[in-house]
């Protein structure tokens, strides 16, 4: 009979460790990912065989964990973007419209940064504006004499 159980593989300084969340006693390792996977299969077979022979119950074959390895490149632009908000995010944070945020950015009252075609404002300038809000009234226009 075929059985399918989740395995968690983790890399450490000596190679790869593999464990099975539904079988705490089933742990192995390998110097390479392939070796660890092969040994994990062997350990799972032995663990299942022992439980079946002893008349023990087998855990349900349901997914208990999902492991996803994500490989990304972090560029200088990504670091700079992490210090910014989109126009819409800044508008929500300041409680004003996106159009008003764009006006403030164009007027230099919020620091704007452009990444390709994407215009953003710095978190620092939004925080500064929140901490030092403008006066509630509008300045009067001076009459021309």
Residues 63-103 pLDDT 10s: 766 655 556 677 788 888 989 999 999 999 999 999 999 99
The candidate with the shortest Cα–Cα distance to 119, out of 134, 133, 99, is 99
Positive or negative, the Cα torsion across 45, 46, 51, 53?
Answer: positive
| pTM for the whole structure | 0.51
Q: Which residues 6+ apart lie within 8 Å of 19 measured at CB?
A: 7, 8, 10, 26, 27
| Residues 19 and 7: beta-carbon distance below 8 Å | yes
| Residues 125 and 104: beta-carbon distance below 8 Å | no
Q: Which long-range contacts (CB under 8 A, 24 or more apart) does 62-70 make?
A: 63/6, 64/6, 64/21, 64/22, 65/6, 65/8, 65/21, 66/6, 67/6, 67/8, 67/9
CA–CA separation, 129 vs 109, rounded Å?
8
HSE of 71, CA atoms in CB hemisphere, 13 A: 0
Q: What is the pLDDT of residues 13-38, one digit of tens each?
A: 889 999 998 899 999 999 999 999 99
- The pLDDT, as a whole number, for residue 39 is 94
- In terms of Cβ atoms closer than 10 Å to its own Cβ (0-12, 13-18, 19+), residue 85 is buried
């Amino acid at each position: 009979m075929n059985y399918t159980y989740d395995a968690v593989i983790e890399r450490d300084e000596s190679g790869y460790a593999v464990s099975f969340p539904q079988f705490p006693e089933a742990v192995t390792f390998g110097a390479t990912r392939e070796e660890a996977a092969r040994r994990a299969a062997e350990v799972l077979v032995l663990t299942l065989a022992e439980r079946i022979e002893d008349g023990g119950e087998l855990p349900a074959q349901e997914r208990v964990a999902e492991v996803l390895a994500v490989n990304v490149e972090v560029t200088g632009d990504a670091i700079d973007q992490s210090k910014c908000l989109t126009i819409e995010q800044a508008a929500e944070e300041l409680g004003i419209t996106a159009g008003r945020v764009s006006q403030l950015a164009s007027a230099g009252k919020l620091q704007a940064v452009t990444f390709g075609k994407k215009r953003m404002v710095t978190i620092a300038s939004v925080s500064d504006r929140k901490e030092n809000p403008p006066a509630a009234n509008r300045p009067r226009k001076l009459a021309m004499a």
